[in-house]
Amino acid sequence: MALDLFSLEGRVALITGGSRGIGKMIAKGFIDQGAKVYISSRKAPACLETAEELGPNCIALPQDVSTVDGVKALAAAYLSKEPKLDILVNNAGAAWGAPFDEFPESGWDKVVDLNLKSPFFLTQALHGALKAAASRDQPAKVINICSIDGIRLNPQETYSYHASKSGLIYLTRRMAARLIEDAINVTAIAPGAFASEMNRVARDQGEEVAKRIPSRRIGRDEDMAAAAIYLASRAGDYVVGETIAVDGGVALASMGGL
């Protein structure tokens, strides 16, 4: 077995929403494994600050990818610097909670556009760069960051978030079926409770949240990095279209499996 099974040496990655939270966890993990990583986020100062923190192999490409125009602008900015792309991580996301009778159209469109539409159109815009990097011996990778809320319900009235993340899981399968023709593997990760700006409950009440998780803890940075490294590296080259739940057993518990 190759000793460098999890190495990303010489690979180039682009991570949306890479300045904080799960995107930053993945960016650091990729860099530690030898990758050159471009991170994008809507807030330029945060993006630049994180790139400086993560070192010379992290490059900031600030961009709002909530619209197709923004997606195309990010793709153009990336392609002005690199001719090929080994790994694309579609991580940028948003959530919205409101009671059923009050749930607004703005809370639907913002979340579904960013969580579901943008990953498709960014992958489409970078299809040529991914194909240029891909071979049967070393496929290019697209990793969509979904959520266990796309697998099981949580108690919150986050209608568009649930729908978008469930849709992204199935979109992953549909894109995987097409892009494997070009030696591009599309997969997904469905995180559970990780401390982040989006999951402030896990961030601020981690010990309480841990009581409801079969593993009795919330996710750590290395848990998320490890799953992404597995899919991005040689170790995950034969995984196509699958979604890996990284949640400490929550999804199984909610289905009666634990």
**pLDDT for the residue 157:** 95
pLDDT band at 258 (very low <50, low <70, confident <90, very high): very low
**pLDDT for the residue 1:** 53
- Which residues are the active-site residues? 161
The answer on pLDDT for 142 being more than 70 is yes
Alpha helices of the chain — where are they, by DSSP H? 21-32, 44-54, 68-79, 105-112, 118-125, 127-133, 159-179, 200-204, 206-210, 221-232, 250-254
pLDDT band at 194 (very low <50, low <70, confident <90, very high): confident
Q: How many CB atoms lie within 10 A of CB 119?
A: 31
Calculate the alpha carbon distances from 227 to 46, 96, 250, 251, 257 in Å: 25, 26, 17, 17, 22
pTM of this structure: 0.94
CATH architecture for segment(s) 12-254: 3-Layer(aba) Sandwich (3.40)
241 neighbors 186 (Cβ within 8 angstroms): yes
Tell me the pLDDT tens digit for each residue of 82-127: 999 999 999 999 999 999 999 999 999 999 999 999 999 999 999 9
- Edge to edge, the sheet with strand 12-16 lists 58-60, 36-40, 12-16, 87-90, 140-145, 184-191, 243-246
Q: Which residue has the higher pLDDT, 249 or 1?
A: 249
Q: Which residue has the higher pLDDT, 95 or 193?
A: 95
Domain residue ranges of the chain, discontinuous segments joined by +: 12-254
Instruction: Burial-class residue 182 by CB neighbours within 10 Å (0-12, 13-18, 19+).
Output: middle
**pLDDT for the residue 11:** 98
Instruction: Burial-class residue 41 by CB neighbours within 10 Å (0-12, 13-18, 19+).
Output: buried
Tell me the pLDDT tens digit for each residue of 52-74: 999 999 999 999 999 999 999 99
Mean pLDDT, range 174-195, rounded to an integer: 95
The answer on pLDDT for 216 being more than 60 is yes
